[in-house]
A and B are shown apart, each in its own frame.
Chain A
Amino acid sequence: MIESDVFVQALQDIGVDFFTGVPDSILGGIIAELMERRLYTPAVREDEAVAMAAGAYMSGKVPAVLMQNSGLGTCLNTLISLNMIYCQPCVLIVSWRGYHGKDAPEHLVMGDVMPRFLDTMKIPHRTLSEKTAIDDLKWLAETFMKQRIPVALLITKGVVKGLHP
């Protein structure tokens, strides 16, 4: 399991310096660490978080938005009609609820379709694993700056330490 502080430090090391989002239990440890480092600006909806991140990006920041995958539905229009159309990159740290069909009923549909959904949206994505973490982060940094679109790092349960291990 990756420690939350190691994960946050790795994001900072690739240049991310503005964090916002809406919590999910899988992301609890990461958000707690971000709050301790006073780096986290809480949003009330994922579309708001994505728009706030866009404002921060245009002001010279490298933004990341944390969200549960259900929030991808909420911010779909913002990702398309702001980030995609205006060529604005954003790191999306997305918890993968409903992974392999094992979760509460409300997560099963999005959990199943998410990779195809992201492919359809042409949002590059990769699933974080402890073994490939260094490569995953490197890929994230490169894709972010090269393509100038949102790029998603998917986090399944138990890969990054949560609040209640």
Chain B
Amino acid sequence: MQSRAMAMAALLELLTDQPVIICNGFPSREAYKIADRPTHFYMIGSMGSASAIGLGVALAKPKKQVVIFDGDGNVLMGMGTLATVGALKPKNFIHVVFDNEVYGSTGNQPTISNVVPLEKVAKAAGYVNVERVREREDLVYEFKDMLKKDGPSMLLVKVNEMVEDVGRVMLDPPDITKRFMQAIA
């Protein structure tokens, strides 16, 4: 199994100017370190909200493909949003879940994603495409495929518990807002 940082780097290489909303905790910090782009919205607080923010962007900007980088703990907290996305079916919505089966940001306490397959929940809720991947080649293949298809899609990436040596996101939240708004305008 690969680390989330490796998986994230592989996906960021395939992205250019798509809006990317990244959930709180280490995922935001890692994305910021790997490739900071003005099209990134780092959600440093508000756990569980990244997918709902992404949904708002996807509905308001139907011509832009919106990508969410989420964590298993975040998805479990905002699980209702899987239903909202599944019901509204935005075609331009790609939900990537880095599933390490723990609340990694707070000390690796187990989540319940080892027994609750989140991509199946998403499928049952109405996501059109869902895939679960482990290896890098599958990850790249499926993500490229989802970029070509109508969504909503969920790519659940099994990752290990390794985290990069990363600091905080060194941007002021109001500046993150401004920069993101200009970048996706």
Contact = CB atoms under 8 A, between A and B. Distances in A.
- The answer to whether A and B interact is yes
Interface of A: 18, 41-45, 47-49, 51-61, 63, 77-78, 80-82, 85-88
26 contacts: A18-B56, A44-B80, A44-B81, A47-B48, A48-B49, A48-B80, A49-B52, A51-B46, A51-B49, A51-B52, A51-B56, A52-B53, A52-B84, A55-B60, A56-B56, A56-B59, A56-B60, A57-B56, A58-B41, A58-B53, A58-B177, A59-B61, A77-B45, A81-B46, A85-B173, A87-B174
Chain A CB within 10 A, most for which of B48, B54, B84:
B84
A86 B174 contact: yes
A27 to B, nearest CB: 19
Nearest to A82: B46
Interface residues of B, number: 33
Specify the main secondary structure of chain B where it touches its partner: helix
A43 B45 contact: no
Contact of B57 (A41, A58, A78): A58
Contacts of B112: none
B15 interface: no
A57 B174 CA distance: 13
Nearest to B180: A58
A45 B47 CA distance: 14
Nearest to B21: A55
A55 B46 contact: no
A81 B61 CA distance: 24
A51 B47 CA distance: 11
Interface in B50-86: 52-61, 78, 80-81, 83-84
Chain B CB within 10 A, most for which of A41, A42, A48, A88:
A48
Interface string B156-168: 0000000000000
B80 A45 contact: yes
A74 to B, nearest CB: 11
B185 interface: yes
B34 interface: no
A52 B56 contact: yes
A41 B41 CA distance: 22
Contacts of A58: 41, 53, 56-57, 177, 180-181, 184
